[in-house]
Amino acid sequence: MMQQTYTELLPPRRILLGPGPSMLDPRVLQALAQPPIGHLDPYLLKLYEEEQELLRIIFQTKNDWTFVLSGTGTAGMEAALANLLEPGDAVLVASHGYFGERLADIAGRLGALVDRIARPWGQIFSIEELEAALKRKQYKVFAIVHAETSTGAEQLHMAEIVSKAHQWGALVVLDTVTSLAGIEVRVDEWGVDLAYSASQKCLGAPSGLAPITVGPRARKAIERRQRPVSSFYLDFKLYAGYWNGNHSYHHTAPSGLHLAFREALRLAVEEGLEARFSRHREHAEALWDGLGSLLLPPFIPKEFRLPVLTTAILPGGLDEVAVRKRLLEEFDIEIAGGLGTLKGKVWRIGLMGYSSQRENVSLLLETLRTLLY
Amino acid sequence: MMQQTYTELLPPRRILLGPGPSMLDPRVLQALAQPPIGHLDPYLLKLYEEEQELLRIIFQTKNDWTFVLSGTGTAGMEAALANLLEPGDAVLVASHGYFGERLADIAGRLGALVDRIARPWGQIFSIEELEAALKRKQYKVFAIVHAETSTGAEQLHMAEIVSKAHQWGALVVLDTVTSLAGIEVRVDEWGVDLAYSASQKCLGAPSGLAPITVGPRARKAIERRQRPVSSFYLDFKLYAGYWNGNHSYHHTAPSGLHLAFREALRLAVEEGLEARFSRHREHAEALWDGLGSLLLPPFIPKEFRLPVLTTAILPGGLDEVAVRKRLLEEFDIEIAGGLGTLKGKVWRIGLMGYSSQRENVSLLLETLRTLLY
């Protein structure tokens, strides 16, 4: 039966400084390694309650519908749009990078009528231009990325933007995949109707889970749908029954990922959000200083540059793929290349969650100095 | 910021004898506990190749499109239907349990025109009655569950059924969530066009991944679609690009789950499929003998009774919830209650993957004897 011999697994030990996954605190890894328990085990159901409480602190929300989906951040994005949109609904997507484009793609697949407002990659939107677009039509949903992982830009003015969207009658979906637990995300204060994120970035857990939070207006819109959500797997009402209701079976949630995720949430809340944001900023500033001296200056102006994900402009003529390959293979350090229009033009360096450590900044800068000069 | 103190995680150690998740071989658990690596890391891409090779052995197929989806078995079910069906397509679903109903639900959400042919829960279909239904209309897809986790019945005659479906022009989707690696599944010999499964049952890996295999006819149908697949997250063409193509980014796959899954696949193939099926059957027969002497006889006739998942008929007047609660809380043994029409009438006892061990059978029978008599 065996076609060949499969060896013992000896995966490499990487210093993960790309756009995620980030590294795991040993306590998170230890939680991941616990034997499985059933998806209806009282211990797991209690764990869900703790995850909800901790996520409400981190999302800064009181939303009852705060769950963790059994899929990656992309599943979170799809779930957000699939639960709100029905075929023929009008949606406005603000796109200033790869993930804005993905939002538009997903909304279109769901049969929504998608209008895009776009900025060149690396720029952000002004309140005024978004308001002008929001005025044009009665949109059911307005979707925007808070922290664009493809460019390293933070969309500022979120409270004002949400307020304008509400004024013109649209529900606001906010992508916080790269921002949550790394920079300020104030779901309730800003008025965000639906936010989603991913486990493996600033939250510092393994990939595979997508936390989401659904505010009262979005929940009402979901409860008033004419047609069922196209996805059974990502249907929030079924999640609510499994998480908050009578725990009726929906799917077999991965207990190991939940144990690890709850532990990562605990570490984040114990660190404190303000301290965590400061840590991310402090190490980012050290990175930016060092990149400047290596002639790899940050692509994004400091005013709206993300501390958690830095895009560095590459010098002309550099074989960037070869350098990244050496970084990975010789030094076990992962950084990422550019996506889409920024391919070959920038590197993407993440300092997220447990990866955001001073020693990682020093190690990366020193290794790049060796490789480049 | 902290609302309360969250304690160290001390999850219980369960003997998992329900319908999944099953227990993990220590080598699988060790693989799960490795630090994460990136979703484009050459080590992970190489691991995908191994998973594909091993899955082809286990699915008994040569299908090029053999992937592992980043979601549970329910995601696999949804992906199978979502990739094949477009709104307005006709689909015939054979339902003889909870998961047949779920197939029909999902197909309906996708906008397909769903016809159901149903048998009472616990029975299986004859070739003739399925052929009579297949004749009635030009169905694009015929979907059926091989091993009904809700009833413990194995749908026999799969080669003949697939052949009839093809004769009447339908593609065959086969749910092998509970059968794969526990009983015979011959994708190519039977001619199955698309099969999906789940990681946490007879394959013996943690929950969270769904292996799928797509045959040439199904692949052609997918490539000829008029509209894009409604789900970006589960789009097989995007998976093919990430797995088999130029490894273009699609989502951040959970490396820990893949390491564990590959290790579980290796153990299955090293054991050998025939030996593995025999082991499952041997321990099931010991269970059935014991259940008989406890007056908890198997619900399904031996002719089509699944060895991997046994439904046991409960005596009238038994407070079955209380007994299961004691089993779990006092003895750390998980079995499951009935679903749907079988709720309160049967228990569901799984002996799958690493859980299928003689000592687990003895432990369960002895403990039940203590609790019941």
Question: What are the residue boundaries of the structural domains of chain B, listed by start?
Answer: 15-20+273-372, 26-269
Q: CA-to-CA distance for B96 and B100, rounded, in angstroms?
A: 6
| CB proximity B12 to A under 8 Å | yes
Adjacent-strand bridge partners of B16: B334
| CB proximity B340 to A under 8 Å | no
With CA atoms as reference, report the closest residue to A337 among A362, A354, A319, A351: A319
* Residues of chain A contacting B93 with CB distance shorter than 8 Å: none
- pLDDT, residue B6, reads 85
Helix, strand and coil content of chain B, in percent to the nearest 5, comes to: 45, 15, 40
Q: Does domain B15-20+273-372 have CATH number 3.90.1150.10?
A: yes
Q: String of b and e for B214-243 (b: at least 16 CB within 10 Å)? A: bbeebbebbeeeeeebbbbbbbbbbbbebb
Q: CA-to-CA distance for A70 and A211, rounded, in angstroms?
A: 9
What separation in angstroms does the CA of A94 have from each of A133, A164, A175, A179, A321? 9, 14, 11, 17, 31
- CB-nearest partner of B36 from A16, A71, A102: A16
| 8 Å CB contact between B77 and B133 | no
pLDDT tier, A3 (very low <50, low <70, confident <90, very high otherwise):
low
Q: Is A224 exposed, middle or buried (0-12, 13-18, 19+ CB in 10 A)?
A: exposed
CB neighbours (10 Å) of residue A261? 28
With CA atoms as reference, report the closest residue to B183 among B160, B159, B155: B155
- pLDDT, residue B3, reads 52
User: Using the beta-carbon criterion (under 8 Å), do A207 and B339 form an inter-chain contact?
Assistant: no
What residue has token string 């909800």?
A: A52
pLDDT above 90 (res A107): yes
| CB proximity B54 to A under 8 Å | yes
Adjacent-strand bridge partners of A68: A211
Q: What are phi and psi of B123, to 5 degrees?
A: -100, 170
Average of per-residue pLDDT across A74-90: 98
- Residue ranges of alpha helices (H) inside B204-300 are 216-223, 236-243, 255-271, 273-293
Kindly report whether the peptide bond that precedes residue B297 is cis, defined as omega within 30 degrees of 0: no
Q: DSSP strand E in A189-305: where?
A: 194-196, 210-214
**Pairing label, strands B141-145, B90-95:** parallel
* Residues of chain A contacting B26 with CB distance shorter than 8 Å: none
| 8 Å CB contact between B82 and B210 | no
With CA atoms as reference, report the closest residue to B120 among B156, B94, B159, B147: B94
Domain B26-269 - what CATH class? alpha beta
- Please give the structure tokens belonging to residue A48: 């869900």
> A10 in helix, strand or coil?
coil
Determine the distance in angstroms separating the CA of B251 from the nearest CA of chain A, rounded to an integer: 6
| CB proximity B127 to A under 8 Å | no
Alpha carbons within 13 A on the beta-carbon side of A331: 21
With CA atoms as reference, report the closest residue to A80 among A206, A174, A161, A160: A174
pLDDT (tens digit, 9 = 90+) per residue, B163-207? Answer: 999 999 999 999 999 999 999 999 999 999 999 999 999 999 999
pLDDT above 60 (res A263): yes
| 8 Å CB contact between A37 and B11 | yes
User: Using the beta-carbon criterion (under 8 Å), do B38 and A16 form an inter-chain contact?
Assistant: yes
Is-same-fold flag (B15-20+273-372; B26-269)? no
pLDDT (tens digit, 9 = 90+) per residue, A171-220? Answer: 999 999 999 999 999 999 999 999 999 999 999 999 999 999 999 999 99
pTM given for the model: 0.97
- pLDDT, residue A6, reads 85
| Position B133, amino acid | A
Lowest-confidence region among A241-245, B46-50, B140-144: A241-245
| 8 Å CB contact between B149 and B98 | yes
pLDDT above 90 (res B245): no
Q: What is the dihedral of CA A45, A47, A50, A52, to 10 degrees?
A: -60
Q: What value does the CA radius of gyration of chain A take, rounded to a whole number of Å?
A: 21
- pLDDT, residue A1, reads 46
- Please give the structure tokens belonging to residue A294: 């290596």
Q: CA-to-CA distance for A158 and A246, rounded, in angstroms?
A: 36
Q: How many residues can be counted in chain A?
A: 373
- pLDDT, residue B268, reads 98
- pLDDT, residue A5, reads 77
- pLDDT, residue B4, reads 64
- CB-nearest partner of A253 from B50, B207, B270: B207
With CA atoms as reference, report the closest residue to B201 among B217, B223, B185, B188: B185
User: Using the beta-carbon criterion (under 8 Å), do B72 and A14 form an inter-chain contact?
Assistant: no
Q: CA-to-CA distance for B24 and A255, rounded, in angstroms?
A: 12
| CB proximity A327 to B under 8 Å | no
**Checking phi first, is residue A156 left (phi over 0); if not, alpha (psi -120 to 50) or beta?**
beta
Q: What are phi and psi of A182, to 5 degrees?
A: -115, -40
Average of per-residue pLDDT across B206-222: 98
Q: Is B253 exposed, middle or buried (0-12, 13-18, 19+ CB in 10 A)?
A: buried
DSSP string, A52-92: HHHHHHHHT---SEEEEESS-HHHHHHHHHHHH--TT-EEE
* Residues of chain A contacting B200 with CB distance shorter than 8 Å: 36, 252, 254
User: Using the beta-carbon criterion (under 8 Å), do B230 and A9 form an inter-chain contact?
Assistant: no
What separation in angstroms does the CA of A352 have from each of A14, A261, A301, B33? 14, 15, 20, 20
In percent, how much of chain A has pLDDT > 70? 99
| 8 Å CB contact between A353 and A204 | yes
Q: Is A3 exposed, middle or buried (0-12, 13-18, 19+ CB in 10 A)?
A: exposed
pLDDT above 80 (res A350): yes
pLDDT tier, A4 (very low <50, low <70, confident <90, very high otherwise):
low
User: Using the beta-carbon criterion (under 8 Å), do B75 and A71 form an inter-chain contact?
Assistant: yes
> A5 in helix, strand or coil?
coil
